[in-house]
A = this chain, B = another copy of it.
Amino acid sequence: MAAVPNIIMLWTIIGAIAATLTSLSFIPQIARSLRTKSVKDVSPVTLYQLSSGVSLWIIYGVYRRDPIIIWANALSLITLVMLIYLYFKYGLPAGRQGD
């Protein structure tokens, strides 16, 4: 009788691990940028595009009533904003190319 809820819980756990891995994926990039104080090889277009994309994913997640989609992308957005801040902090003074 408990078989169906257990399977649903398994999928929820897989979704939660997926969400955790992708949401926190820019933490190592933030750590590296903080350590090296260099971001010249990081593409700002990638950061802007990802930020726009995950913002729309949050809206889509609200429509799908899927809390994993909402929270995963909200967390991604926070780390992306932090990385964009670091990009301007370390990248702009030296007049890096913004592509």
Contact = CB atoms under 8 A, between A and B. Distances in A.
Q: Closest 5 interchain pairs by CB?
A: A21-B53, A18-B56, A22-B53, A28-B45, A41-B41
Interface residues of A, number: 45
Contact of A57 (B22, B24, B33): B22
- Number of copies of this protein chain within its complex: 2
Main secondary structure of the interface of A (DSSP, over half): helix
Contacts of A54: 18, 22
Contacts of A20: 53
Interface string A16-50: 01111111111111011101101111110110011
B41 A40 contact: yes
B21 A56 contact: yes
A93 to B, nearest CB: 15
